[in-house]
Amino acid sequence: MQLGFVSAILPDLSLNEVAAFAKAEGFECIEPLCWPKGKAERRYAGVTHIDVVALTQAMAEEIRGRLATAGLAISGLGYYPNPLAPDRAEAEVYIDHLKQVMRAASLLGVSLVNTFIGRDWTRSVDDNWARFREVWKPLVRFAEDNGARIGIENCPMLFSGDEWPGGKNLAYCPAIWRRMFEEISSPSFGLNYDPSHLVWQQIDHIEPLWEFRDRIFHVHAKDCRLDRRRLDQVGVLATPLQYHTPKLPGLGDVDWGRFFSVLSDVGYQGPVCIEVEDRAYEGSLEARKSALRQSARYLRQYLSGEVGA
Amino acid sequence: MQLGFVSAILPDLSLNEVAAFAKAEGFECIEPLCWPKGKAERRYAGVTHIDVVALTQAMAEEIRGRLATAGLAISGLGYYPNPLAPDRAEAEVYIDHLKQVMRAASLLGVSLVNTFIGRDWTRSVDDNWARFREVWKPLVRFAEDNGARIGIENCPMLFSGDEWPGGKNLAYCPAIWRRMFEEISSPSFGLNYDPSHLVWQQIDHIEPLWEFRDRIFHVHAKDCRLDRRRLDQVGVLATPLQYHTPKLPGLGDVDWGRFFSVLSDVGYQGPVCIEVEDRAYEGSLEARKSALRQSARYLRQYLSGEVGA
Amino acid sequence: MQLGFVSAILPDLSLNEVAAFAKAEGFECIEPLCWPKGKAERRYAGVTHIDVVALTQAMAEEIRGRLATAGLAISGLGYYPNPLAPDRAEAEVYIDHLKQVMRAASLLGVSLVNTFIGRDWTRSVDDNWARFREVWKPLVRFAEDNGARIGIENCPMLFSGDEWPGGKNLAYCPAIWRRMFEEISSPSFGLNYDPSHLVWQQIDHIEPLWEFRDRIFHVHAKDCRLDRRRLDQVGVLATPLQYHTPKLPGLGDVDWGRFFSVLSDVGYQGPVCIEVEDRAYEGSLEARKSALRQSARYLRQYLSGEVGA
Amino acid sequence: MQLGFVSAILPDLSLNEVAAFAKAEGFECIEPLCWPKGKAERRYAGVTHIDVVALTQAMAEEIRGRLATAGLAISGLGYYPNPLAPDRAEAEVYIDHLKQVMRAASLLGVSLVNTFIGRDWTRSVDDNWARFREVWKPLVRFAEDNGARIGIENCPMLFSGDEWPGGKNLAYCPAIWRRMFEEISSPSFGLNYDPSHLVWQQIDHIEPLWEFRDRIFHVHAKDCRLDRRRLDQVGVLATPLQYHTPKLPGLGDVDWGRFFSVLSDVGYQGPVCIEVEDRAYEGSLEARKSALRQSARYLRQYLSGEVGA
Amino acid sequence: MQLGFVSAILPDLSLNEVAAFAKAEGFECIEPLCWPKGKAERRYAGVTHIDVVALTQAMAEEIRGRLATAGLAISGLGYYPNPLAPDRAEAEVYIDHLKQVMRAASLLGVSLVNTFIGRDWTRSVDDNWARFREVWKPLVRFAEDNGARIGIENCPMLFSGDEWPGGKNLAYCPAIWRRMFEEISSPSFGLNYDPSHLVWQQIDHIEPLWEFRDRIFHVHAKDCRLDRRRLDQVGVLATPLQYHTPKLPGLGDVDWGRFFSVLSDVGYQGPVCIEVEDRAYEGSLEARKSALRQSARYLRQYLSGEVGA
Amino acid sequence: MQLGFVSAILPDLSLNEVAAFAKAEGFECIEPLCWPKGKAERRYAGVTHIDVVALTQAMAEEIRGRLATAGLAISGLGYYPNPLAPDRAEAEVYIDHLKQVMRAASLLGVSLVNTFIGRDWTRSVDDNWARFREVWKPLVRFAEDNGARIGIENCPMLFSGDEWPGGKNLAYCPAIWRRMFEEISSPSFGLNYDPSHLVWQQIDHIEPLWEFRDRIFHVHAKDCRLDRRRLDQVGVLATPLQYHTPKLPGLGDVDWGRFFSVLSDVGYQGPVCIEVEDRAYEGSLEARKSALRQSARYLRQYLSGEVGA
């Protein structure tokens, strides 16, 4: 496995600066975010480390060269919109940009694009299904045609009242993953597996690694802490941020030792990208860099590879 | 405490027959359901053991006499509609009948009416709050004026897709109870406490007894079993019946020994009514009677009083 | 479900006396042991409450009448030898008697015979498999032809050095049950499910109820206590009696509330027979009767039916 | 084992009335309290169901006859003072009366007297040891000479500020029992084992049954509930009633199933006397009787013998 | 947060040498002990890394300069006597020196002094309260006047018979902290929070971080291991070293991941000083240095900042 | 303690190369495997880093010098055959070579030889005992005569069908260790303690450190993960690899923090050698080196000493 990070946490740095930091800290890869320029619709979204719309063959080659020199790989390109947004015109914009990201992946020689399924959050899973089929069958075919694989992150995209009740991403639990892969069985369609989202849903965050081993294209290393004291006041019907807090790896309830134990046994050899969404570490650029450094130090005890000098 | 049962499980028996059974089995009280005649809108609803609309002073006295002879008390009158239903005309019907139940309670010399707050299940708790205030302030005043107390059952009324996402009863967790009683502090406004609804919400089902000791007017003894195996597939965002099953007391995850231990320490001396909603025991009248018998036998180890001869 | 007991614990009583005791204590059924007369090869074996070899149509009818009068059913006939004993002549004797038991079941109007698969305990499961197939395919066919069902108890028959290393019954774990029923899928071939044997094997004793729901023909209610203190000295490679002790229901590690909860949900409606193998209760006939009485009292809290007067 | 109760909870009844109640409820024995008349120095103390000072041979025989007729045994005579009280004159009074109780036991044909070692609560265990030796060696010799056995209850006698810091009974933990029995190895010196006192001390309440099996002369069935919420505020340095509450059997943290499981395996065949010190059940004589009835019902699921009709 | 250590473990080094070691190992701060010269009344006490009595403005500036050059901060000055010692003359000596430490803090530009409340260990908390008020109200006022804050370590100072029964520091549990801060609400009065002391008291060592977030002025990183095996022999009434052992961070029962998770969420940004009291690491100066190195390595996985080169 | 590794995982490197790697990574010792040349009877066996048969005084001195220069110690010589193999001629070969290893230890100035007791795996422990005595009494005497100590690894040597049922090493549990050391009490006879083998046997892997503290001559740091999901299918009667997987330290169920906590408290100061048998890390020499690096990084948080630069 290769340890890296999601670039969203360093929006104030250019791709070059991100790469320099990654190299200095001994990371082996990065997942650059590829939102369209100027767009920042929610926390952690809207970062453009690669402007895929403007990307030319020449620019792509320059990036490849620069990263190769730094000994860094791109683990995948990241773009996490809501392709099933109720407003179809809005959704179309997301879908078009997602195709642009796939095109850019091809130019950059990167095989993976990470994203969300999306969801009309006001409707049930069943009521979203026809739309899922309609949008995603062609999208996966587009990916296949462009030599890309799609890694769907398993985040429910449900945090507070804004995304209530259903969240903005259908792919949040094993039962739904199973249904998704029965519907679209393409080997280009898989998961960007983040164990922390399963923790607060009270789903075993390790067991699914066995069943979905062939679908795990990418791993996000994020953690979260479920606070029993708060849960005892509001219960699981509350919006999730009322009873849990996203944290750095090692500061939450993910059992990382067991996670990497099983991950290694199912044969996973891909990237593991730290995703920082811990508000206690967001006060400054230095704090955010520090968060990546600390997370890497924590994770390295379960991962081969060198610790950054 | 007095052991009894909710009459909903014996819809095929008349109040007389219910009382005869209760007496024979050594119960000390019953909670007769008082739905309007002819109405059965959902499972376990619509049972009319006392027709409050038709009830006259004379009839009430006859009932009182009969029950007194059998050594039985009425723990409370039960009617569980949705007084905040989105359709205001529909809600008005419920509210009117609820007042009829209070009037009947007065005729019967019963101090308690058990019911739900209700909810527009398509809207958030906050978005229901103005309506709660508007409907319930006068209702509680009506209760006060009629010498009645109102016991709100803490059931989220969320089971499957029909009640998704919010359920049909606001009063489902301690944080909301606190808000309710801050809003309406009348000593006539309290809880019909059912620990099983807290279990699947992952809320400590015993700790709230300490804080809400003065608000517990009635107790429902129902149990439920949370199936980890099923929860691991769907998570807490699923509709609740996907991962838990209502069961008889003793066949679920409620810690009854500790429950009655604390209940006795907070000074509760009221009724404890078994509520049967266990589909494995619903095949026949005999099975349903058997369910009450078995539940009583289980609960009697934690309760004083005699076991039915 | 009907509560009963295995007759082995009352070897000093005749069938008539066993029935009288069962009736007096409010049991609903019994499992009479049917070993050949005079044979007592090990503890709890060799009891002959019905002498199937001598049984005539007339005697069978007399027994049926007597039990019917007492309101008692025969849950199944029990005979637990080693039909795969390494000495084939010995095994043949067991197989022949097993057929006699099936014949007797037919005369008695009983549909179930409980027994063991058997095993050559010196050889691995795989090395026993050909013999299993060879012996049991015709036996199950014989059962089908005689209108009998066969309930295989899931006891490893491994207690101490005598049965080391493999035990004398192949059917001890879910993986092997699955293999058995794939090999012989007849609806006449099922399990006599005893949760206690799973406890010390460290197998979830409740989860298999879901998968094998259609194969559960009979239930034995026995319990056992695993002693951590002893296990810490010898580990799971020791013979099992070094670290666990068979006990009455309620005095061991079986989670009976959850067991009956799931058992009722998978639709099981058959017999539950208490099997007493608790040496602390074997000092006298009175002690053994007492053991049955106490076990019934314990189990009745999770089971419908009356408690013996 | 024989189920009975400690008579202290029925101070308003005479011995005759206590016996009548015990018989009616199906108990098999009682432990009558034998405080000197007129003395009630603390809650649950000072009850005189047998006035040992006044007891004559004739009175003793009358009592024996009456109890025999009721089918009741005396499990032991109970008197629980502080024989190591710092005031030596006071202690001497206790010691003298203790001898009177032993004399009465002899008259009544009872072999056991239950009591405390006592302690100067202001001094450490070590600093009490010389006094323990000095007082108890002759006392045990006196018991031997009178054919009595002494059962020391393992209560620390530390509840609130009055007994702080050391409590009024040395015999509170296995390490001290070991030291006691090394010091005085007489077979007439043993324990009146009450598991509840071990619970709040955070000592395994079952494991010592193995080591001290030959020293267990009597068992008190009391329970207690440790409240984590309260303990989290004050810690184990607080006086014990700040974080735990004595309760009826089944309403606390004692694991009774496992307790009786091991108790039966170590060969204990003696009395098990319910001791009621649950303030939620002390409001009236009826409530206290009810407490005994409920406790018996709870314990009978783990004990042979009949349930009171 | 800044990682440092308490200087007590390096008594053989001068302040200069301590600072050189700290710098070499990448620590960010130190808590120098400031006992009066020549005084070493108990293990870990009596170390004088800064002689506050002799300290002049010039010396203070030299120290400040030297540490600044090494990139090291002083987290607080440490002096842990018993200001409520029963011998008032003795107590007065402590109080006077404590004021000297505050004066020195001012000279050194350090805002925090860490110490104990003290206690007459032979008397209850209540019986110490008047004295607490009398001594500490002026002391806190003195601190305010000198621009110092006081961090009270939450150690019960109860280890073995010498401090029995009450220990030598009142401030040992949340209930008492609450009482302390109600009595003296000055913002200059807070805690030097050491989670390990809560562990063996069976108090949740993380939950109080929420309530006392504004009172946490300093953190000690020490760990301890509670030995169930030993506790089962002696119970919580024993002196604490009979059942637990102070250990290096990571070798005990403190849940450091969760501890730092919540600590970061309550906004704590102050020092975290390793306190070594692990006898397995005290054999030599090298062993003690090694203990600090290992502790830092363990803690750095949960803390930002660099690992010492 | 000194951190090192077992050389078996680097069979493709010469002793020189192993030492170079060890030095580069900051290890303090190694356990070189000393199988006879050319022999590789099973996975992880057959590695010859020192050819003890050919070893001369001169060669031994060269090795000592080289390692001393690298700052490396030999923790012990390793050779793990079956000295109680049923084929006595085969066993004799093992015994002879074991003596050669002891001779070599003497030449190398190494005091410890690590090995197995061996076992006839088809026979019970008792049935192997006479042979154990016969073989090992002279072997331990031989060790004493040669100034060597023998460290018996506590591996049951039972993985799959080949070693079924008894495994190839008697010394697998505390009860047997006790028996071994009663039989042969020589201070030259001890344990090479590997906690992972106790984990899947369900034996407390830390508690025995207290009792056997004087017998622990060497420690193997290996881990393993017990998979509940798999165990639930096959139970403890299955061959162990059906339900558990050997893993690197930190990726399994060993509680390393507590392990090293107690290990330091019992005074252990010897070597801790990482043993890699994790198939997920065996794909290449680089992967195996990586496994050692990662394991060391994990273990260093609980161990003093430097992390490899």
Mean pLDDT by 10 residues, chain B (309 residues): 97 96 97 87 81 97 96 97 97 97 97 98 98 98 97 97 97 98 98 98 98 98 98 98 98 98 97 97 94 97 71
Tell me the angle at which helices A88-108 and A57-69 cross, rounded to the nearest 10 degrees.
60
Q: Do D237 and E161 touch (CB under 8 A)?
A: no
Structure tokens at E85: 């010692």
Structure tokens at A105: 């992946």
Closest partner CB to A302 (pick from F229, F250, F278): F250
What contacts A77, CB < 8 A, 6 or more positions away? Answer: A31, A32, A34, A50, A52, A101, A104, A105, A108, A110, A112, A113, A114
CB atoms within 10 A of CB C285: 14
DSSP secondary structure, D187-252, as one string: TTEEEEE-THHHHHTT--SSTHHHHTGGGEEEEEE-EEEE-HHHHHHH-TTS-GGGTEEEE-TTSS
Peptide bond into A165 cis (omega under 30): yes
CA–CA distance, B173 with C17 (Å, rounded to integer): 57
Residue F78 in this model has a pLDDT that exceeds 80: yes
CB-based contact, C297 to chain B, within 8 Å: no
Residue E73 in this model has a pLDDT that exceeds 80: yes
- Check: CB of residue E108 under 8 Å from CB of residue E148: no
CB atoms within 10 A of CB F2: 18
Mean pLDDT on D263-270: 97
Q: pLDDT, tens digit, for every residue of D46-91?
A: 899 999 999 999 999 999 999 999 999 999 999 999 999 999 999 9
Residue of B nearest to A171 (CA): B234
Q: pLDDT, tens digit, for every residue of C7-19?
A: 999 999 999 999 9
In angstroms, what separates the C-alpha of D255 from chain C's closest C-alpha? 10
CA–CA distance, E173 with E228 (Å, rounded to integer): 22
Length of chain D in terms of residues written: 309
pLDDT at position F309 is 38
Q: pLDDT, tens digit, for every residue of A100-122?
A: 999 999 999 999 999 999 999 99
Question: How would you classify the pairing of strands B216-221 and B189-193?
Answer: parallel
Please list the residues that pair with B246 across neighbouring strands.
B224
Look at residue D57 and give its three-state secondary structure. Answer: helix
From the list D200, D187, D195, the residue with the least C-alpha distance to D112 is D187
pLDDT at position E304 is 82
CB-based contact, F241 to chain C, within 8 Å: no
Mean pLDDT on E164-186: 98
In angstroms, what separates the C-alpha of B308 from chain D's closest C-alpha? 11
What contacts B93, CB < 8 A, 6 or more positions away? Answer: none
Q: Do A293 and E304 touch (CB under 8 A)?
A: yes
Mean pLDDT on E244-256: 98
CB-based contact, B54 to chain D, within 8 Å: no
Q: pLDDT, tens digit, for every residue of F124-160?
A: 999 999 999 999 999 999 999 999 999 999 999 999 9
pLDDT at position A36 is 95
CA–CA distance, E107 with E100 (Å, rounded to integer): 11
E255, E256, E265, E307, best to mutate vs chain A, most A CBs in 10 Å: E265
pLDDT at position E103 is 97
CB-based contact, F291 to chain A, within 8 Å: yes
Cβ contact B–A (≥3 pairs, < 8 Å):
yes
Look at residue C59 and give its three-state secondary structure. Answer: helix
Q: pLDDT, tens digit, for every residue of F4-19?
A: 999 999 999 999 999 9
Q: pLDDT, tens digit, for every residue of A218-271?
A: 999 999 999 999 999 999 999 999 999 999 999 999 999 999 999 999 999 999
Cβ contact B–E (≥3 pairs, < 8 Å):
no
Q: pLDDT, tens digit, for every residue of D127-175?
A: 999 999 999 999 999 999 999 999 999 999 999 999 999 999 999 999 9
pTM above 0.90, yes or no: yes
Question: How would you classify the pairing of strands C216-221 and C223-226?
Answer: unpaired
Closest partner CB to F302 (pick from E245, E251, E287): E251
pLDDT at position D306 is 60
CB-based contact, F228 to chain A, within 8 Å: no
| Model confidence band, residue D250 (pLDDT cutoffs 50, 70, 90) | very high
CA–CA distance, E308 with E90 (Å, rounded to integer): 42
CB atoms within 10 A of CB F274: 27
Q: Sort D12 into a burial class: Cβ within 10 Å, 0-12 / 13-18 / 19+.
A: exposed
Residue C309 in this model has a pLDDT that exceeds 50: no
Residue of E nearest to F299 (CA): E298
- Check: CB of residue B177 under 8 Å from CB of residue B171: yes
pLDDT at position A38 is 80
CA–CA distance, A216 with D78 (Å, rounded to integer): 70
E223, E241, E247, E251, best to mutate vs chain F, most F CBs in 10 Å: E251
CB atoms within 10 A of CB B121: 23
Q: What are phi and psi of A74, to 5 degrees?
A: -90, 120
**Residue E230, CA distances (Å) to D196, D232, D237, E233, E254 in order:** 19, 22, 18, 5, 19
pLDDT at position A39 is 59
pLDDT at position E39 is 59
CB atoms within 10 A of CB C208: 24
- Check: CB of residue B192 under 8 Å from CB of residue B76: yes
CB atoms within 10 A of CB E99: 18
Mean pLDDT on A191-208: 98
CA–CA distance, E80 with E119 (Å, rounded to integer): 12
Residue F42 in this model has a pLDDT that exceeds 80: no
CA–CA distance, B250 with C43 (Å, rounded to integer): 34
**Residue F203, CA distances (Å) to C230, C238, C245, F198 in order:** 9, 11, 18, 5
pLDDT at position B39 is 59
Helices (H), chain A: 15-24, 57-69, 88-108, 125-145, 174-183, 196-200, 208-211, 228-234, 256-265, 285-300
CB-based contact, A229 to chain B, within 8 Å: no
CB atoms within 10 A of CB C120: 19
Q: Do A261 and F297 touch (CB under 8 A)?
A: no
Q: Do C304 and B291 touch (CB under 8 A)?
A: yes
Q: Do E302 and A247 touch (CB under 8 A)?
A: no
Residue A308 in this model has a pLDDT that exceeds 60: no
Residue of C63 and A304 predicted with greater confidence: C63
pLDDT at position A307 is 54
Closest partner CB to D264 (pick from C229, C280, C293): C280
**Residue A272, CA distances (Å) to A219, A264, A297, C18, E7 in order:** 5, 12, 13, 67, 40
Closest partner CB to A250 (pick from E267, E302, E305): E302
Helices (H), C109-241: 125-145, 174-183, 196-200, 208-211, 228-234
pLDDT at position C38 is 80
CA–CA distance, F191 with F276 (Å, rounded to integer): 19
CB-based contact, F287 to chain A, within 8 Å: yes
pLDDT at position F304 is 83
Please list the residues that pair with A247 across neighbouring strands.
A223
**Residue D160, CA distances (Å) to C204, D231, D236, D237, E157 in order:** 44, 15, 13, 12, 22
DSSP secondary structure, E203-254, as one string: --SSTHHHHTGGGEEEEEE-EEEE-HHHHHHH-TTS-GGGTEEEE-TTSSS-
From the list D143, D173, D145, D148, the residue with the least C-alpha distance to D158 is D173
From the list C232, C146, C141, C221, the residue with the least C-alpha distance to C189 is C141
pLDDT at position D307 is 54
From the list B105, B106, B81, B107, the residue with the least C-alpha distance to B95 is B81
Question: How would you classify the pairing of strands A244-247 and A223-226?
Answer: antiparallel
pLDDT at position D46 is 85
CB-based contact, C288 to chain D, within 8 Å: no
Q: Do E302 and A294 touch (CB under 8 A)?
A: yes
Residue C289 in this model has a pLDDT that exceeds 70: yes
Which residue, chain included where needed, has tokens 């309609």? Answer: A134
**ipTM metric:** 0.95
Residue of E nearest to D160 (CA): E124
| Model confidence band, residue A309 (pLDDT cutoffs 50, 70, 90) | very low
The DSSP call for residue F48 is B
Q: pLDDT, tens digit, for every residue of E8-40?
A: 999 999 999 999 999 999 999 999 999 999 856
CA–CA distance, A292 with A288 (Å, rounded to integer): 7
**Residue E130, CA distances (Å) to D162, E135, E180, F308 in order:** 20, 9, 12, 57
pLDDT at position D309 is 38
pLDDT at position A304 is 82
pLDDT at position B304 is 82
Q: pLDDT, tens digit, for every residue of A139-174?
A: 999 999 999 999 999 999 999 999 999 999 999 999
Q: Do E281 and F262 touch (CB under 8 A)?
A: no
What contacts A28, CB < 8 A, 6 or more positions away? Answer: A2, A3, A4, A71, A72, A73, A271, A305
From the list C160, C151, C304, C180, the residue with the least C-alpha distance to C242 is C160
CB-based contact, B293 to chain C, within 8 Å: yes
Mean pLDDT on D199-213: 98
Look at residue C238 and give its three-state secondary structure. Answer: coil
- Check: CB of residue F104 under 8 Å from CB of residue F147: no
Q: Do E281 and F304 touch (CB under 8 A)?
A: yes
Q: pLDDT, tens digit, for every residue of D12-31?
A: 999 999 999 999 999 999 99
Residue of B nearest to D247 (CA): B261
Residue E309 in this model has a pLDDT that exceeds 50: no
CA–CA distance, A205 with D244 (Å, rounded to integer): 37
